[in-house]
Amino acid sequence: MVLPVRPGREAEFEAAFAEASTLIASIEGYLSHELHRGIEQPSHYLLLVTWEPLAGHTVGFHESPQYEQWSAALHHFYDPFPQVEHYERIA
């Protein structure tokens, strides 16, 4: 998903994300994540998280206390709020 961070808050977001990443990593079904910063739009980040099964994210994470902490740590950086989409590897 693309995370549109408020311009000027990139460094603060990256520090908060580094701390918050331990929350998502603690959920059953989490396998890995990658965060990439945009080159053309440096306030846009691409977050790829691998879950197995998907319910680890849609149920396990979203219904956990860790999600509340994740939201408090990161959601105020986004403008607009990102749209979550799920994909499956085909190659």
Q: What is the pLDDT of residues 5-19, one digit of tens each?
A: 999 999 999 999 999
Average pLDDT over residues 63-88: 95
Average pLDDT over residues 38-51: 97
Beta strands in 6-90 (DSSP E): 30-37, 44-51
d(CA 1, CA 33): 11
Bond into 53 cis (ω within 30): yes
What pLDDT, on the 0 to 100 scale, is given for residue 71? Answer: 96
Bond into 82 cis (ω within 30): no
Instruction: For each of the domains in the chain, give its residue range(s) and CATH number, in order of start.
Output: 2-77 (3.30.70.100)
What pLDDT, on the 0 to 100 scale, is given for residue 91? Answer: 86
Q: pTM higher than 0.85, yes or no?
A: yes
